[in-house]
A = this chain, B = another copy of it.
């Protein structure tokens, strides 16, 4: 993973240095958290990626639950309980599940109360005559009392349970230790995995929340964690030129002060859209705050958006290039791929149309479009950064996600807000209960 920003991010050397100086004590604090290597601090999600005990626990439960027969994993969870897993799954496999022929177990995400999603999933599994060993259900709720997750779990267990007698043995519950959900599961001898108390949902991808379903589906979680570990070293480093999290937090902070109130993650690989949505939660919940740390009403925060290249150039490209200059952009792309590329053939059906694409690979065409877009942004003085992956792999995705989680901690520090809470979501939940 490479981070590029020079000459395009619109922040002066002086602004960069002043802000980085402000960050230094907090960078030291994060190094302290890493040294303690426990889960006693708000920032302790940075220790998930080196927690070999959790990795062993996850792997042994995978060994217990997963046989070669496993074909479908239902992930029941919402927000931080599934966005990270979905980001990695879609990036590497799931994005084309509508035309899938892959043999790796399919993940099916049940992320909200949707009768269509629920009934079609059940119908699909019953038509496939799914057996106990072919199925695994992960029910994930940090608090243990998420309405959607509990309701969906009950509905699925009930409907599939009419056909699979030992359905409860195929369920794994992932939640805070000693939550109501934890206790209910333990009481019924259902397998449980704990989420550390101070690791919040949007920071939990390298905890059991992400590791278990991904490992069960055959993804390489060791590589994912190696990517995260290497990135953690950079992102808690005093050497600011290496510390990409401190650098991009600095850039975002200054751009926000200049009125760039929207941060667009513009991915140039369609399969990264879910990664963009994972970041959207991370930024939306961490920085979007009514009050600052002193309790003063500030109504602050970026609105994070996700755009997909080249698709959205034909959708919101006009707005981005011509409309209000209220956005800072991060282009995210892969330089290469492990997959063999497809190429416009030499002998074409419509050879008189756009001859310049003859024998060009899909990667060459997309690169040309991205180059064109970057120059257009530069000419309009629209600030941007770039994340370049060598390829879309567990390791690179692990690095990116670790980088962004630490970036968000630095950004919360600069914004002077409580990065790890989400007090305002309670307001609608309280009202909702009155209608149930």
Residues of A within 8 A of B (CB): 78-80, 83, 94-101, 106, 108, 111-121, 123-125, 127, 144-148, 150-151, 153-155, 157-159, 168, 180-181, 184-185, 188, 201, 261-262, 269-271, 277, 280-281, 284-285, 287-291, 299-301, 303-305, 308-311, 313-327, 337, 339-345, 347-350, 352-354, 356-357, 360-369, 371-373, 375-376, 379-380, 422-425, 427-436
**Given A365-B147, A428-B372, A436-B360, CB of A319 within 8 Å of CB of B303:** yes
With beta carbons under 8 angstroms apart, the residue of B123, B284, B339, B357 that contacts A116 is B339
Residue of B nearest to A285 (CB): B318
**Given A301-B323, A305-B305, A436-B357, CB of A120 within 8 Å of CB of B147:** no
Minimal beta-carbon separation of A383 from chain B (angstroms): 15
Bound CA span A354–B364, Å: 53
CB contacts (< 8 Å) of A341 on chain B: these are 115
CB contacts (< 8 Å) of A430 on chain B: these are 372
Contact B262 A431, beta carbon cutoff 8 Å: no
Number of copies: 2
With beta carbons under 8 angstroms apart, the residue of B323, B342, B433 that contacts A303 is B323
With beta carbons under 8 angstroms apart, the residue of B101, B154, B201 that contacts A350 is B154
Bound CA span A303–B327, Å: 10
Q: Name, among A115, A180, A304, A320, the residue most crowded by chain B CB atoms within 10 Å (CB to CB).
A: A115
Main secondary structure of the interface of A (DSSP, over half): helix
Residue of B nearest to A180 (CB): B353
Bound CA span A78–B344, Å: 18
Residue of B nearest to A161 (CB): B349
Q: Kindly list the 9 A-B residue pairs having the minimum CB-CB distance in the complex, ordered from nearest.
A: A79-B314, A288-B319, A372-B432, A288-B323, A372-B431, A290-B322, A368-B435, A322-B424, A301-B323
**Given A151-B344, A305-B305, CB of A117 within 8 Å of CB of B95:** yes
Bound CA span A150–B354, Å: 8
CB contacts (< 8 Å) of A304 on chain B: these are 316, 319
